[in-house]
Structure 1
Amino acid sequence: MKCGKRLIAGVFAAVLSLGLTACSSVKFEPTETSIFIQKDRKVVSAEIESFDNSAYADSPRYKEDELKAFVEDAVITYNSENGGAAKAYVEEKGEELPVAVESLTVADNTATLLLDFASADDYLLFNGTADAAPVKDLIIGTVQDGVNSGLDFSGMVNADGTAADLDKLTSSSKYSLVSVTGSTVMKVEGKVVYMSAGVTLKDEHTVVTTDDTSYIIFK
C-alpha cells in the first residue's frame, strides 16, 4: 500500500474522532479532529465528522460495519507491509503494532475514529503527505536533538506569547520537541513551554499550528 491509504487526510477525509485515556495525567478527550503527541514519541490521531444518514441528506453517509471493514483492511495492509503483524487491533499486553485501531463508532450522527501510531513516521506513511494531508511532516524528539540538528529557534516565544530566551530554551535539553509542518490541532503529553511565533495556544497542553513548519517544546 503506497503511502498508506491516506485514510485520515484523503480517502477517509470526512471521518471521525475519539477519546484516549492514556497512562498519563494528560488525557486526550478531543472534541475536534486533532493529534496527540506522547512523551514516548507515539502519536494518536483523532477525527470527528458529523453526517446525516437520512434519505434526503447530501452529506456523507456512514455505516459502522462498512467503515470498520475499510479501516481494518487499511491498517492490516499497512502493518503487513511495514514489519508488523497482520492485525488491526492490539491483542496481547505489551504488543505494539505500527498502526492500531483504538476505537471506531458511528452514533448520533457522528463518526468517530481513533488510531494509535507507533511513531511519527508511521503516522505520516499511513496518512500520506500529499497536499490534501493536513500534516506534511512530523518529527518528535528532544530539544537536544534539535540543537544537534542545527534547528533555528530564533523567533520562538514563551507559552504566554512573549519572546523566548534562546539560551534558556536551548539549555532545556531534555524537554520534548515536536516539529510539525501543516495546520492542525495538537495536544501534547506535557505542558507547552515554548512554541513558534504564529502558533495559537488553546490551553497549556494544546496548540493550533500554522501551514508552515512550527516547533512546539513541552515538558
Structure 2
Amino acid sequence: MIKKAIPNMFTLGNLYCGFLSIGFAAIHHYKSAAVFVLIGMMLDSMDGRLARLLGADSALGRELDSLSDVVSFGVAPAFLAYCTNFSGYGFLGFCIAGLFPLFGAFRLARFNVNTKKGDKYFTGVPITAAGGILALLTLLHLPDVAIATVFTAMCFLMVSKIKIPTLKQVPIPKYGTIVTLFMVIVLYLVFEKKHPDFPYVLYVALPLYVVFMVFHFMKKRNNNKKQ
C-alpha cells in the first residue's frame, strides 16, 4: 500500500505545481509560475520511474498522471503564455491560448490508448516537453511573435505522428546528467536577477531530483550485477 502511495504522491505534487503556477500567473508573478511548471517536470519524470522501481505501477497511478499532466503542462503553460504574451489581443488571445491544453489532452488520450509496453518511441511531442518548453521561453522574455511561433509549433507537434525516442534506452547517468544540468541552468536564469518572487522550493526540488537519479542508477547497477 505504501509503495503504491509514494509514486502517487509525486504525481499529485506535479498537479499541485500546476495549480501554483496558475495562481502565480494570476497575480502577475510570472517567473514563479514558469518555475513551478519546471518543478512539475522534475516530479513527473520521477513518479513513473519510482513506480517501476518499487513495482507499484497501477491503473490509478496512470490516470492520475494523465490528469496531472493536463493541468501542469497544458493549462498552466497556456495560461502563463496568455498572461505574458497574448493578453494584449483580448478575447482572441484568450481563445488562442486555450488551444494548447486541447491539443495536449488529445495527445495524452492517444498515448493512453495506443502506447504499448516496451515501445521505444513516442508518437508526437509529449505534453510534458511541450509545456516545459513554453514555460521556459516565458522566462527569457522573447517577443510575442517568437512565443506565438513556438506555441503553434508545439500544438501541432503534440498531435503529429513524428516518432520521438522515449529515452528509456538511454543510460541513466547520461540522461540524469542532461536533465539535471538543464535544471541547474534554469535555476541560474531565475536566480541571476534575484527576483523577489523566486520560489525557494526549487532549492529543495533540485537536490531531491539529483538524489533520486543517483538512487535510480545505483538500484539499476545492483540489479544488473545480480543478473
Q: TM-score, normalised by structure 1?
A: 0.28
Q: Which has the higher helix share?
A: 2
More strand by share: 1
